[in-house]
Structure 1
Amino acid sequence: MKQSPRFVDKQFPNHICLLKKAIYGWKQAPREWFSTFSAYLIQYGFRSSSADPSLLLFNHNSIQLYILVYVDDILLTGNSTSEIDNLLTALHVRFSMRNLGPVSQFLGLQITSTATGLHLAQSIYATSILHKAGMVDCKPVSTPLPTKFLRNEQSDDLYERPEHYHQITGALQYLMITRPDLLYAVNFLCQHMHQPLQTHYNLLKRVLRYVKVTLSLGLPIRPTSLQLTGYADSDWAADHLDRRSITGYCAFLGHNLISWIVKKQSSVTRSSTEAEYRPLSTATCDLIWLRRLLAKFQSIQTEPTKLYCDNVSALALATNPVFHARTKHIEIDAHFIRDCVRTKQLSVHHICSQDQPAGLFTKSLSSTRHLQLCDKITIQPSIVILREADKNK
C-alpha cells in the first residue's frame, strides 16, 4: 500500500493514512456502504439470503418484506404497507435516503405497469448505444445475425478502431438483461474482443440495426403459476474454426422467462450426445440455485423441476448411470445431473426440436424462425402489452 500523492508525511514517509470512513467514489466505498446498511437491516430483523447476498428478507408472523440492494440503489417490496412505512421511517432516521415511490426505473431498466402485470424494457439505454455508435438513422434488419456469414479470420483485415468495438459490444452485454433475443449474437461478438476484424465490426453494425427496429421489445412479467421449468439445447461443432459447440439454456417460472445462458463449451465434443449432455449439466446448476432462491420467497418447489432437451441419447445418459465406453472421457462434474435426477430434484423430458425455445440461443436463424422463438420466450414490445391490457378491460 502507498500513501496518496501530496499526502506523504516527510517525517514518516513509509506511513499511510488509517481509513476511518469510506468516501463516496473510492473503491472500498460500495463495500463499506453495503456492510453498514445490511448490518442495520439485520438489527431491524432482516436476514441475508444464502442464495443471493444482496437480497435481505424479513419474515415475522404473516408479514414478509424483501429488499434488494445494488450499491445505493434499493428495491423494497412486501405484503404489508404499514410495515413498509415503518421501515422507511426508520431508514430515513438512520440514512439520508429518498423514497421514489412505485418503481418505474431501476439500474437502467424501464418498468411499466400494465393491467396484466409488468413490462421490463431498456429502450432508453438501447437508444444511447445507437447514439454512441453513430447509428441512430441506420436501416433496419429482421435478425441480429445472418444465417451464413464469413468466418475465415485469415483473409480479413483488423478493425482499425478496436476500442470502439470493445465499448459498443460491452454496452450490448448489459442490454441483454431484458433482450435475450440478442444473446447468441452478442456472445459471438464478445468472442473476438481481443482482436476484432472488419468482418466482426460489420456484424456488430448489423446487430445495432436489429436493435434499432426492436427498441420497444422487452420481457413481460405476469401473474402465473410458480412452477419452475428449464430448457437446454446445443449446436454441435458450431464454430468452424475450433469446432466447439454452443450451449444454450433458459428457465421459466410459469410463463415468465427468468433466466438464460449461452456460452461456448470449453472443449471439443466427440458426438452430438455429449454436446447436448453438457448443457443439461449447466442447466441443472442454475435450476438448483433457482429452486433455492424461490424457497426464500416462500415458493417451495415440491415437485421435481422439469428440464427439457431434444436429444434422446443425452436424456438416456442423464437417467441411466451405466458405464458407457463412448462417454467415459466426460468430466465428473458433467454427471452432476444424474445425482439430481436420482434425488428427484429434477426430471428430464424430451421436447421436439421445433418446440425448443433454447434453440434461439445456440445459432443464427432465419427471420421466420427467429420470430417464432422470440414468441416462445415471451419477448414482446410494450405496445403489444398495453393493447392486450385494453382488450382485457
Structure 2
Amino acid sequence: MSDGSSGADDDNESSGVDDVSDDDESSGVDDDNERSRVDENDAETYVDDDKSTGVDRNVNLDEVESAGAESTDEDIPDGNTMSDDFQRAEERGRRAAFEPGNTSPNTRSRTQRRRGQAPRSVHALLTAIVDTFKPETHKTLFCLVTAQMTANKGVKIFGKAGEEAIEKELCQLLTRNVMHRVHSQELTQEQRRAALRYLMFLKEKSCGTIKGRGCADGRKQRLYKSKEETSSPALSIEALLLSCVINAYERRCVLTCDIPGAFMQADMDELLHLKLDGTILEILLCMEPSYHQFVTYENGKKVLYAQLDKALYGAVQSALLFWKKLSAFVVETLGFKINPYYACVANKIINGKQFTIAWYVDDLKLSHVDPEVVEEIFAKLQEEFGKEAPLSVTRGKVHNYLGMRIDFSVDSKVQFTMPTLVDEIVAQLPPTMATGPSTTPAANHLFEVNNKAAKLSMQDSDLLHRLTTQLLYLCKRARPDLQTAVAFLTTRVASPDTDDMKKLGRCVRYLRCTAHFPLVLEANCIRNIRWWVDASYAVHPDMRSHTGATMTLGKGSVYSMSTRQKLNTRSSTEAELVGVRLFPIYGAWIGRTISKSTLKI
C-alpha cells in the first residue's frame, strides 16, 4: 500500500498504469515487446511525470501533422453503415501503416529499419486510418477513429468550433499571466533549443462541444529532472473509500469541488521557455496583435518564444508545484494538519468535530457534520483559487468524483458505482461473444492455460488488452468481485489466445448481467478492522499459489486483493502462511491511520 495514487488529467479519465514485476499477477501485465504492465492497486504513491504531461513519450509530436500514409484516391462507398465505413477504414489503415514506405524512420526501431518493417505504433496506425477517408464527408467517423487530434487537423475538421476551442484555451494563458513574451535574440542558442513546444489537442465531447487542451511538451525536461523532483502525491483509492465510509458512519455533510486551471495558479520554479508555432500561433496573434513584434522565423515558419511564469500542464513539475501550493494554503491559512500517512488528506477539529479535506490533484472532497462549517471552508477555497473562474461544486447526497458515482442517500451507508465505464466495457464485447448470461465472472478452469490454443489476431489482442485494463480500473474501485478473473487476464495480455478471449467474454457477460450491482460500504465500528486472508495451493501452471484477501469495517470490502504468490510453496499450509505474511504490514498501516483520532483519514 502507499499514501497516494497516480495522477489524473482534468477529466479524470485516465487509469493508473505502471511497470511492475511479472510475478505479481494482480499487479497487471508484462510484455517484452511494447505493452506496459498495469498496476495492481491501480493507485501509485505519486503522480508520474508521464501522466502529468499528458504526452506519450513514444510519439514524435514534431511529426504529428505529417506522419502516416498518403491519402488514397479510392473513396469509401456511400450508403454503408457507420460500422462498415469504420471497418473498411481500419483495414486500409492497417495495410498503409505497415507498408515500409509509409512510416517515418524516426519512429522505427533499429531492428525494424533493418528488416524494412513498420512499427507496431498505435499513433502511426490511427494516423494512417484517418488518412484513408475524407474528413469532410465522414466527420463522425473521423471523431470515432481518434479521440483527440492536433490543432492543425482539428481546425480542418471542426472549423470555427475548433478555432473557438483553441481561443478559449489560449485565453487562459493570457488572463492568468502564465507567460510573458520574449525576443528570440534575448535567448541563447541553448535556451531556444531547450524551449518546450506548446501543443494543443482538440476533442469532441459526447455532448457535441469541442474541447481544447493545451500543454507543454515536457519530454525535454526528463533529461535533467529526476522522478523525485517531479512526482506529486495524490489521493489513493483506499484512502478515498475509507474516508467515505467514515463520512457515512458519522453522517457528515459532503461537498466536492474542482479547481479550474489548477496548475496555472502555481508559480514556476525554474527558468523555462515555451515555443509556439503553427495554427496555435496564428490564432494567438489574432487574439493579441501586440505579440507580432516578438515573432521570428525558423526554417521559414513563424515562431514565438515566451517565458513561463506559472506552472503549465505538460511541464513535468507542474503537478508537484500545485500540490505544494494547495497543501500550503490548507495548512498555513486554514490551519489544517496533513495526515501522516496520506499526503493528500488534511484534518482539523472544528466545533468539537473533525473536518477532513481530501484531494486528488485538483478535485477536492470536504466533509464535516455541520453544513455551515463546510460552506465556510469552501468559501475560503473559492476566494483563493476561484479568482479567474469559480470552482465547480457539487452538494447533496450524490457526487460524481474521480469517475465514480458516490451515493450517501442511504443512512450510514455509501454506495459506489461506475455506470458509464460499465456500459463502455459491455458495448465493446464482440456480438459473437455477447450471447447468453454468466452467473459468475470466472469458471473453475480460470487458471488453466491451453498451450495448444490459437493466438489472437492483433486486432483481437488489442481488444483484450484494452478491456482488461478497463476491468482492472473498475474492479479496484467499484467491483471487487471481478478481481480474481481480472488478476488472471492481466497476466495474459502479452500473448493472448482464444481461451483467454473466452474467459474475458465470460467476465464481461457477468458484468452485463450485474451492471446494477453497487459496492455498498458500511461501518459497524470504525475502530474494529477485520481481515480475511486465504490461499489456493499450486493453482497456477508454474505451481505457484494464489492469495486472496479482503478488509472491512463492518459491511462491504474497503480493501481487497487477488494476487499470485511470488514464490513456490511446498504445502497448502505454507501457501497460507505466505499469504498471511503480507497483511500484518497492511493491517498495521491502516490501523495506525484509523486510530490516530476519530479517524485521521
Within a 5 Å distance, the mapping from 1:42-61 to structure 2 comes to 42-43=331-332, 44-60=334-350
Partner in structure 2 of residue 186 of structure 1: 486
Specify the structure having the higher radius of gyration (Cα).
Answer: 2
Partner in structure 1 of residue 574 of structure 2: 274
**Are residue 79 (structure 1) and residue 369 (structure 2) matched?**
yes
**Are residue 99 (structure 1) and residue 393 (structure 2) matched?**
yes
Cα distance, 1:114 vs structure 2: 1.9
Deviations 1:161-209 (A, max 9, x none): 3222211100001111121110100000001122112211121111111
TM-score, normalised via structure 1 length: 0.69
5+ long unaligned stretches in structure 2: 1-60, 64-181, 196-270, 273-308
Partner in structure 1 of residue 425 of structure 2: 129
How many residues are aligned here? 296
SS class of match (1:74): strand
13-22 vs 50-59, which moves further: 13-22
Distance 1:63 1:180, change over 3 A: same
Partner in structure 1 of residue 378 of structure 2: 88
Partner in structure 2 of residue 386 of structure 1: none
Distance 1:214 1:191, change over 3 A: same
Within a 5 Å distance, the mapping from 1:1-393 to structure 2 comes to 12-15=188-191, 16-17=194-195, 18-19=271-272, 20-24=309-313, 26-43=315-332, 44-60=334-350, 62-96=352-386, 97-102=391-396, 103-112=398-407, 113-115=409-411, 117-134=413-430, 138-148=435-445, 151-160=448-457, 161=459, 162-176=461-475, 177-226=477-526, 227-239=528-540, 241-296=541-596, 298-299=598-599
Identity %: 24
Contact 2:534 2:548 in 1 (8 A): yes
Partner in structure 2 of residue 336 of structure 1: none
**In 2, Cα distance between the equivalents of 1:150 and 1:223?**
34
197-206 vs 27-36, which moves further: 27-36
**In 1, Cα distance between the equivalents of 2:571 and 2:434?**
45
**In 1, Cα distance between the equivalents of 2:439 and 2:382?**
49
194-203 vs 60-69, which moves further: 60-69
7-16 vs 226-235, which moves further: 7-16
Deviations 1:119-158 (A, max 9, x none): 2222222111112345696432111111125834431222
After TM superposition, the runs of 4+ consecutive aligned structure 1 residues lying more than 6 A away are: 4-8
Q: CA RMSD in A?
A: 2.6
Contact 1:123 1:215 in 2 (8 A): yes
Deviations 1:242-266 (A, max 9, x none): 0000011111102342111111111
Distance 1:54 1:14, change over 3 A: same
**In 2, Cα distance between the equivalents of 1:231 and 1:263?**
14
Contact 2:546 2:563 in 1 (8 A): yes
134-143 vs 70-79, which moves further: 134-143
Cα distance, 1:92 vs structure 2: 0.6
**In 2, Cα distance between the equivalents of 1:184 and 1:40?**
42
SS class of match (1:31): helix
5+ long unaligned stretches in structure 1: 301-393
Distance 1:193 1:28, change over 3 A: farther
**In 1, Cα distance between the equivalents of 2:556 and 2:584?**
19
**In 1, Cα distance between the equivalents of 2:586 and 2:379?**
37
Cα distance, 1:237 vs structure 2: 0.4
**In 1, Cα distance between the equivalents of 2:596 and 2:473?**
26
SS class of match (1:257): coil
**In 2, Cα distance between the equivalents of 1:67 and 1:205?**
40
**In 1, Cα distance between the equivalents of 2:463 and 2:414?**
35
Distance 1:267 1:223, change over 3 A: closer
**In 1, Cα distance between the equivalents of 2:310 and 2:62?**
19
